[in-house]
Amino acid sequence: MLTMSIIAPPTNITDFRTQLRHLVDEHNAIILAHNYQPAWIKEVADVTGDSLYLSQRARETDATTIVFCGVRFMAETAKILSPEKHVLLPADDAECSLADSITETDLIEWKQRYPDAVVVAYVNTSAAVKAMADVCCTSANAVEIVASIPEDREVLFLPDQFLGAYVQRMTGHPGMHIWMGECHVHADISPQHLAEKMDEDPSASLMIHPECGCTTPALYQLAETGDKTTRQRIRILSTNQMIEEAKRSTANHILVATEIGIMNDLTTANPMVHFEAVNPRARCPYMNRITPERLIEVLQLQTGEVFVDGATATKARLAVERMVDPELRTWAH
């Protein structure tokens, strides 16, 4: 059973920021924070964003230490891209139920059944699983990546079933096999939750993260409607794409299906819109593990360092590089 307690923010955010900035400068560090992190962390971070954007920034930064306010697979991805950097995770129990839904052994067995398939691993996977993948993807580029794989190739898409179904529908790729994993937070944003909220306001617009359990009915609704305005009201998006969409939206009311840590970013992006969570209890316990004390401590004492063993990292690097660099995407047998 996962316990969920809300971490108290620092009592004085100005003093906290001053202390943190001092340590950041002293250690030539950068603080990256995922959009699902609590508001007080995003407020003191150098960069906030979705999985793809943070991976790109981790790869490009001149800082020698990366403090990753997110979960383990994100910190490991940064380490794989930048093995010479110190990557610190301020919560050693920040795992991910989706990453846990496929193991290295599962993938070895699956690959034996489809030895010529291109393995597309969502970035929410362990380093060992990434090491067996041909390419990694995020919610922001999964469609683009699968669409670039020739139709005569089989594709093993893992581990998220809802994202997989969405990608299959958008690309029409005939060779896709989809692993039946899920994120317990997004799976619990269900078709029932969506239907209830839409009954309350049938004219509301929708922003849906493709990991959600309600993605498939939203896609059916999209497919059924011939009306352009209705189609424009339903958007399947990564978290950065949601923030960008929020900035330019002229809607009055937007129902948001994803982890609720992003809600404050959406309101900041466009205070004129009423953003409402489809499931207001959709909070990820792993994204809410960092305390102010732990954030200070990892920098001060250089603890919480994330390591990926050399052989695994070397094997995983091409798959992760292909995720951030389209030019590396070639699919020879």
The reply to whether 50 sits near ligand 13P by the rule CB under 6 A is: yes
CB of 112 to ligand 13P, least distance (A): 29
> Which structure tokens are listed for 200?
């309350």
The reply to whether 51 sits near ligand 13P by the rule CB under 6 A is: yes
Binding to ligand 13P, residues 242-281 (CB under 6 A): none
Select from ligand 13P, ligand SF4, none the partner in contact with residue 208, using the beta carbon and a kind-dependent cut-off of 5 to 8 Å. Answer: none
Per-position x/- string for 94-133, each x denoting binding to ligand 13P as judged by CB under 6 A, each - no binding: ------------------------------x---------
Q: How many CB atoms lie within 10 A of CB 165?
A: 17
What is the rounded CA–CA span in Å between residue 280 and residue 25? 37
Give just the sign of the alpha carbon dihedral 91, 180, 125, 280.
negative
Burial of 287 (0-12, 13-18, 19+ CB in 10 A): buried
Do 294 and 197 touch, CB atoms closer than 8 A? no
Among 91, 212, 254, 284, the residue binding ligand SF4 under the rule CB under 6 A is 284
Do 176 and 167 touch, CB atoms closer than 8 A? yes
- Nearest-CA neighbor of 279 among 204, 221, 214, 218? 214
Per-position x/- string for 202-241, each x denoting binding to ligand 13P as judged by CB under 6 A, each - no binding: ---------x--------------------------xx--
Binding to ligand SF4, residues 223-262 (CB under 6 A): 259
The reply to whether 45 sits near ligand SF4 by the rule CB under 6 A is: no
Beta pairing partners, 69 = 33
Per-position x/- string for 134-173, each x denoting binding to ligand 13P as judged by CB under 6 A, each - no binding: ----xxx---------------------------------
Q: Which is nearer to ligand 13P, 19 or 51 (CB)?
A: 51
Q: Give the interface segment with ligand SF4, choosing from 4-12, 90-98, 269-277, 320-328 (CB under 6 A).
A: 90-98
Helix (H) or strand (E) holding 164: helix 161-171
